């Protein structure tokens, strides 16, 4: 694996091609996530395995709605452009305005975008519109959502094991890095550099009794492999099934700790805890679940 795409200007080229396809230039085009951190991974053929987290900043709401409609209608040519540029994973493109940037809630991604986001095209001042949240401002619900989203990654990886083992491994190791994120958030910390985040997570494993159920050696193995994968120097990889089991057990242990931190430690039975979480969910989340959205 490698951290470097074959074309170092591929993100800028992508932004320009999107503007052509959508018949409009953004006020700004932002990149966050693994590409902004310098941790994007590609496979041996040169295709990127990492999702592209991007933000199209429109000048106003009318422009945003207009471009979003075109985006939805032009997915086939957009996917063709992405594939031609060597991006093998989805483009997660959010359409925002300066006003909606200023209203972004306290989430790990919001903090990271403000700190590490890159303005690829357009007005560099838009990043200053993002609220200066701190890790302690991230709600328990957002912390749980982070874990829930990673559970879907694990389920998807389980399905991919037989058909695309490389991408399945990437998913599992992505989960491993986010387990470290969830653990550091237990101490209201959010280091952006992966090696620092893992080091802080190791300290929490030693010091936080809520994590007493974690298999520390298994998490250590996961993190070592995740770091090697991200920097492009993986050692002899373990069998994906074994890797997946370690990640799944780690997820359960971290979920137990995060739900306890959210005030649900009195529910010893995991199913009772899940039901209590469902009752506490925001109205918006419950409506989305009821409607299947």
What is the CB neighbour count within 10 angstroms for residue 260? 18
Sequential pLDDT tens for the chain (293 residues): 433 333 447 899 999 999 999 999 999 999 999 999 888 888 877 788 899 999 999 999 999 999 999 999 999 999 999 999 999 888 999 999 999 999 999 999 999 999 999 999 999 999 999 999 999 999 999 999 999 999 999 999 999 988 888 899 999 999 999 999 999 999 999 999 999 999 999 999 999 999 999 999 999 999 999 998 887 765 667 889 999 999 999 999 999 999 999 998 888 888 888 888 878 766 455 444 444 44
- Write down which residue in 111, 133, 155 finishes a domain: 133
Domain residues for 182? 139-291
Q: Which two tokens stand for residue 242?
A: 């074994």
Same domain, yes or no: 21 and 164: no
- Write down which residue in 82, 113, 133 finishes a domain: 133
Same domain, yes or no: 119 and 151: no
Q: Would you say residue 4 lies in a domain?
A: no
Same domain, yes or no: 54 and 154: no
DSSP 150-177: HHHHHHHHHHHTTT-HHHHHHHHHHHHH
Q: Which two tokens stand for residue 40?
A: 């994007």
d(CA 229, CA 167): 12
Alpha-helix residue ranges (DSSP H) falling in the chain? 10-21, 33-37, 61-73, 75-84, 98-102, 108-116, 140-160, 165-185, 194-207, 216-231, 240-259, 270-280, 283-291
**Of residues 37, 87, 99, 22, the one with CA closest to residue 231:** 37
Strand, helix or coil for residue 248:
helix
**Of residues 71, 55, 62, 37, the one with CA closest to residue 104:** 55
pTM over 0.75: yes
Same domain, yes or no: 180 and 225: yes
Q: Would you say residue 232 lies in a domain?
A: yes
Cβ atoms of 11 and 35 within 8 Å: the answer is yes
Q: Would you say residue 3 lies in a domain?
A: no
Q: Which two tokens stand for residue 57?
A: 């900043």
State the pLDDT at residue 68.
Answer: 98
d(CA 144, CA 281): 10
State the pLDDT at residue 273.
Answer: 86
| Crossing angle of the two packed helices 216-231 and 165-185, in degrees rounded to 10 | 120
Same domain, yes or no: 62 and 155: no
d(CA 211, CA 2): 33
d(CA 268, CA 256): 9
Same domain, yes or no: 91 and 173: no
Q: Would you say residue 215 lies in a domain?
A: yes
């Amino acid at each position: 694996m490698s951290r470097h795409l074959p074309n170092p200007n591929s993100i800028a080229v992508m932004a320009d091609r999107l503007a052509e396809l959508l018949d409009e230039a953004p006020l700004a085009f932002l990149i966050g996530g693994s590409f902004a951190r310098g941790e994007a991974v590609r496979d041996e053929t040169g295709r990127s395995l990492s999702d592209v987290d991007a933000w199209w900043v429109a000048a106003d709401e009318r422009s945003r709605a207009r471009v979003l409609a075109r985006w939805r209608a032009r997915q086939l040519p957009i996917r063709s452009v992405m594939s031609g540029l060597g991006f093998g994973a989805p483009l997660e493109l959010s359409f925002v305005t300066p006003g909606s940037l200023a209203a972004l809630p306290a989430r790990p991604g919001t903090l990271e975008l403000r700190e590490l986001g890159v303005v690829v095209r357009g007005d560099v001042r838009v990043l200053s519109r993002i609220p200066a949240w701190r890790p302690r401002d991230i709600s328990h619900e957002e912390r749980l959502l982070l874990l829930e989203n990673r559970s879907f990654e694990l389920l998807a990886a389980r399905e991919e094991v037989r058909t695309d083992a490389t991408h399945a491994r990437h998913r599992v190791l992505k989960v491993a890095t986010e387990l470290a994120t969830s653990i550091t958030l237990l101490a209201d910390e959010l280091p952006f550099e992966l090696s620092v985040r893992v080091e802080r997570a190791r300290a929490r494993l030693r010091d936080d009794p809520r994590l007493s159920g974690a298999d520390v050696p298994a998490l250590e193995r996961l993190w070592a492999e995740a770091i090697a994968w991200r920097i492009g120097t993986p050692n002899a990889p373990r069998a994906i099934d074994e890797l997946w089991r370690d990640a799944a057990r780690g997820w359960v242990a971290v979920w137990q700790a995060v739900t306890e931190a959210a005030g649900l430690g009195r529910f010893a039975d995991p199913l009772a805890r899940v039901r209590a979480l469902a009752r506490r969910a925001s109205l918006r989340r419950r409506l989305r679940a009821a409607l299947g959205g």
